[in-house]
Structure 1
Amino acid sequence: MFSKFRLIPALVAMAFLISSCGSNAPKEARFIPKDASAVLIVDPKNMEDKLEKSGISMDTLINHLFKRNAMDTTERSMFQSIKDSAGMDWSNKVFLFALQNGNANTGKSTAVNLIMGLKSGSEFEAFLKRQPSLGTKKIQKEKDYTYLVTSPESMIAWDDKNVIGTFYQNEVKPYYDTVAMKFVVPEKGNSDSAMRAEVNKYFTQKKDASLASVDAFSKMFKTNADGYAFASTNSYLNVLSAMPLQLPKLEELVKDNYMAATLSFEEGKIVATTTTFTNPFVSNLLKKYAGPTVNLSLLEHYPSENINMIMMASFNPAIFGGILKELEVEGLVNSFMDKTGFSAQDLYKTLKGDIAVVVSDLGMPGKEIGVKNDSTISVSRKPIGKMIFTAPVGDTASFAKIMNKAVELGYFSKQGNTYKISSKIPSLGLYMQADDKNLIMASDSLTYAQYVSNKSKAVVGNDALNLFKGKSTVAYFDITNTIKGFMNSTGSNYQNSMSSAKNILKDVIATTDNFEDGAVKGKMEIRLNNEKQNSLATLTGLFTDIAVDMRMAAKKESEQSMFPSGVPAIIRTN
């Protein structure tokens, strides 16, 4: 059981279900190296309280977690054993973090770790010793912790207050031997030894080597939330060292940028807030090349009342030149581009810095039925919908220089001041046209004509538009109507889940602000149709339907593999 960590989902679920009040101080941060690529945290107590206030008991959720059959009875018994007699402290936050070492050229190792609280390390050890699945595996002790290697790629380590479950993979990459003229696969290192060394680091590292020393990580816990996420660009430094071309100051650009996020289940919506803390190098660039806010006029005349998705961004194109200058590679890039007849500056000056993508009327057309030789056949269908990508032109001289070069190469044709994609070039089914004012791609020529006529009026709720105003990027996704468009085309396996999702989920709105006070802030709302009930309680119904559909699909797949011609009626009826 523990050799495969099969109960980790159950452990996380239990942390959601049963817990008592606990401190917000992230003492577990001392275990997490500061170069961890990602950290996810959940606060089970907050979630439990919200469910209880909505009238959902723990017993009800546990009953939904397990089916009534022999296999689930066994696993439920183990679940209860872990809950009651494994020495676990369910008041603690649950931490999941990942690290990567090495690089793509020489091979890399990946460690994924789960941290949970303990009331008693000795009680947890006694629980492990009672598990027959561990067989003769030996529990070993170090100065600061005790551990058990459960497989060549997994182990459990604990002290008196915390337990860490680790999954470890060590990958090697073939290289080309120029003497032997063949690819060679290096011998895989001792994963067991490397895994033990990795876990030893968690328990013995000093504070300044851990996330406990990173202010951005600690500050995020000042906000009371149900979940947290943290990411760092420091994990990419190993990749930079393996690049064949070492760019000056690239490490200054990448290192010590952090993203901290909180997640809260509120009445009628799930709210996530993000704060990206940038290093001085990046901060100076963002200050110097501050961008405008999204141009909502690009959306105004979109020709549809059934918008499924919107993505908009606004930026100062000169920031690309600023990055090249600060990295001291502008001359190098321009030397590569000499033969093209234009410079890097011509490229980034081409567009004004406003971009909008709108998708609408998504769905699956009705079945086309044809009759041939007295037999009915169903013709395959493809999704339908409309789309516009629009980007206003910036410097007209730079734009003309690049587009005229594209005409010379046969990619576009030119009629007056208008450029159209060449019939010789595959257009992926898109219609594209550009002039000295706009570059526009459309799903078809009719949608393009309707959009540029400025006679249509896009239908977007004022509540969403108000959230778009003053933002540097926005994204919108209408969940209800998108699911409705595909409801009858997904087959029968997940119809309950699709119907439940359509009735529960409304839309998603995500926005980011421009750089201010040393950070870039963002917000995402997943809005639900039931605005009065807490969103976590509302979602339990969706999760239940998904679980039922998954079990039914698995049962159907099992029956089909056992009886390819169909389940005999006598078995089905009995």
Structure 2
Amino acid sequence: MQTTHFFKLMTIGAAAIIFSSCAKTNTQGKLIPKEAAIVIQLDGKSLSSKLPWDEIKQNPLFQEMNGDSSLPATLKSLLDNPDNAGIDSHADLMLFVIKDSMGGYIGFEGKVKDESIFKTFNKQITENGAESEKDGVQFISKSPVCVGWTKEKFVYVFDVPQLSQMDELTKRMMRDSIDVRSRSARDIGATCKAVFVLKESNSLAKDEKFTQLMKETGDIHFWMNSEELGKGGSSATALAMVNLDKFYKGNITTATLDFDKGKMLVKAKTYASEEMVKLFKKYSGGKINEDMIRRMPGKDVVAIMALNFKPEAIRELIKMTGLDGLINLGVEKIGFSMDDFIKANKGDIFFGLSDLVMKPDTTTYKFKEQEENISISEKPGFNFIFSASIGDKESFNKLLNAGKKIGREQYSDSSKVPVSFSSNGTYFALSNNKQNVDQYLGTAGTDFDFISKISGESFGGYLNIQTLLKSFGNLATKDSSAKIAYDASLKMWDNILWKGGNYSEDGIQQTIEINLVDKTTNSLKQLNQYAAKLSELYKEQRRKQKEEIMAFQDFESSNEVQPTVPAKSK
């Protein structure tokens, strides 16, 4: 009897261990190296139910691409129906990016629906690339791509040596002498084969953060490892030199995107290094100040952003960088210390933009002895307000006096200072006009309907896309093409709500809600319809450009000076 009881306990214990282990692993990451900088998962079943392929095929831009006579028949067959490639388009599709010493590579994987069709498709697309087989996995390789597959799974691997030059983008903007031609010594076939023999411990299958992401509901799942993404770049080396590597080491962002009815919903979580986690745990949990939002002056609010933080966290952040001595020296030169800055702040920040309109702006100019010319253009006019809650008043006055000193140094005439500011003992306010400052610091307030949707956490934001678009309405009516795009956008976009910042479940949570005007149709279907309208506009613009080019060429031909043939001498 005791033996039977013992075996029952052993069985229950073993089952508990197995289930606990399974809860921390996932199947989606088995063929993805743990060093992946970016991973995107597409839920094929959910996406195809919200936007069938037949609807995508009705998009004018899609039809134009599919109608291109130079497009190979193999690709046309794929565009007609992705299943014609032998893949299961209703299953999950995964894309991952790896950065390494040779630049990097991109992987694309999914489920095989018909092995024979899949093989035929890839032989055609690679123009009879080199075939091989290893441990039951078939491969077709032709640089820069290799595809491997079993009866159930396929993985494409694309060599991307240009990834090593990501850190050079800013340099290329300043000079054009950098050679961006791809040079790679990568054995793409060996790289693809290595993916299929990945040990689970070297994949994302055992990563608890990735497992948690895969459990979240969403049409699209996103993973970004900032440390891996910046690997090998000069910026990463520079950050490490000044002790700023703590801000990106272990920094991973995960997110899901849902295409709901009338809105797109993004839920994101950011993980950080051990030092940053300690800081978040110690100082998170605050809520934005709703009273500061209600005081927002102006008739038409375009955008607001509110933030709550613990001022003491600033001191610890600066100490982590090792730059505290240098920063203290700098601020003391203008009349206050870091302690003053921290004590002066109560930890609430607010910024708002309102009443955006386009106004005629007249510019007069004259060249040498020519007559005076007047140019009239549209210039945006708006009101803004910046405010902060006041902590220690004596420390705050030191900051205020330092600001006034800087203002006097830049503007000898105080009437030319482009901003106005004041305080009421509770809040400091700064705006582009005195009326806004006085109104903000007064007692009046407005219960905006968006406040309840962004409050409750340490930061919140709101963008009224309708108000933003309508402010440019007069400009859009001056051009027929712009009017089409404007009308389509006005019927599509409503507003954006953003909130988050608190630390929970080992990460910083945030949500972004993009709301559409049509609240009854799923947002993916609406995006396709919106893209269809813009693609019609794009096609029309291309047609006009071609006509203009042809007209110019005809004009040049008709005005071309014919060479004069010299007369023969008698």
TM-score normalised by the chain length of structure 2: 0.75
Alignment deviations for residues 360-390 of structure 1 (CA, whole Å, 9 cap, x no partner): 22232369899xx9xx987221122221122
- CA shift for structure 1 position 64: 2.1
User: Partners of 1:245 and 1:46 in 2: how far apart?
Assistant: 43
Once the two structures are superposed, the pairs formed by residues 305-324 of structure 1 within 5 Å of their partners are 305-324=299-318
User: Is the 1:237–1:255 contact (alpha carbons within 8 Å) kept by the matching residues of 2?
Assistant: no
Corresponding position of 1:557 = 545
Match of 1:497 in 2: 485
Name the residue aligned to 2:296.
302
Q: Report what 2:110 is aligned to.
A: 116
Distance 1:364 1:76, change over 3 A: farther
Give % identity: 22
- Partners of 2:191 and 2:417 lie apart in 1 by 51
What residue number does 1:468 align with? 454
The unaligned stretches of length 5 or more in structure 2 are 1-24, 169-176, 365-369, 557-570
Whole-Å separation in 1 of the counterparts to 2:181 and 2:519: 54
- Name which of 385, 392, 397 aligns with 1:395: 392
State the structure with more CA Rg: 2
Question: What amino acid sits opposite 1:471 in the alignment?
Answer: E
Letter in 1 for 2:96: F
Which is helix-richer, 1 or 2?
2
Confirm or deny: 8 A CA contact 1:291 1:316 kept in the other structure.
Answer: no
Of the candidates 210, 219, 222, which is equivalent to residue 226 of structure 1?
219
**Aligned-pair RMSD on alpha carbons?**
4.2
* Deviation at residue 311 of structure 1 after TM alignment: 1.1
Is the deviation greater in 79-88 or in 196-205? 196-205
- Closer, same or farther: CA 506–159 of 1 in aligned 2, 3 Å: same
Q: What are the ranges of 5 or more consecutive residues in structure 1 without an aligned counterpart?
A: 1-24, 52-56, 103-107, 175-183, 414-420, 569-574
CA distance in 2, matches of 1:551, 1:47: 27
Measured at CA, do residues 396 and 97 of structure 1 come closer, stay the same or move farther in structure 2, by a change above 3 Å? Answer: farther
Distance 1:567 1:28 in 2: 61
| Amino acid paired to 2:480 | S
CA displacement 1:322-351 (0-9 Å, x = unmatched): 234456664575467676665443444443
Taking the aligned partners of 1:119 and 1:407, their CA distance within structure 2 comes to: 70
- Report what 1:386 is aligned to: 383
Q: Match for residue 54 of structure 1?
A: none
Note closer, same or farther for the CA distance 1:188–1:508 as it changes in structure 2 (3 Å cut).
closer
Match of 1:548 among 529, 536, 541: 536
State which drifts further: 548-557 or 323-332.
Answer: 323-332
Letter in 2 for 1:554: R
Letter in 2 for 1:536: L
Partner of 1:44: 44
8 Å contact kept, 2:357–2:472: yes
Distance 1:273 1:74, change over 3 A: same
Matched-pair contact (CA < 8 Å) for 1:261–1:272: yes
CA offset at residue 473 of structure 1? 0.8
Letter in 2 for 1:94: L
Does the C-alpha gap of structure 1 residues 330 and 499 become closer, same or farther in structure 2, counting only changes over 3 Å?
same
Q: Aligned-pair distance for 1:542?
A: 1.2
Q: Distance in 1 between matches of 2:554 and 2:464?
A: 39
8 Å contact kept, 2:285–2:457 = no
Query: What TM-score results when the alignment is normalised by the length of structure 1?
Result: 0.75
- Aligned-pair distance for 1:437? 5.2
- Residues 1:90 and 1:29: Cα distance change in structure 2 (over 3 Å): same
Q: For 1:221 and 1:341, locate their aligned partners in 2 and report how far apart those are by CA, in whole Å.
A: 52
Q: Which moved more, 1:57-66 or 1:330-339?
A: 330-339
Aligned residues: 506
Q: Specify the alignment match of 1:178 in structure 2.
A: none
**Map of 1:140-219 to 2, 5 A cutoff?**
146-150=139-143, 154-160=144-150, 161-166=153-158, 168-170=160-162, 171=164, 190-193=183-186, 199=192, 201-219=194-212
> Residue 479 of structure 1 aligns to which amino acid in structure 2?
I
Q: Which deviations, in whole Å up to 9, do the C-alpha atoms of 1:226-249 show, x marking residues without a partner?
A: 11112223324655762376456x
Give secondary structure in 2 for the equivalent of 1:316: coil
Alpha-carbon deviation of 1:398? 3.5
Distance in 2 (CA, whole Å) between partners of 1:68 and 1:255 is 45
Q: d(CA) in 1 for partners of 2:497 and 2:65?
A: 41
Cα deviation, residue 136, structure 1: 7.1
1:92 equivalent in structure 2: 91
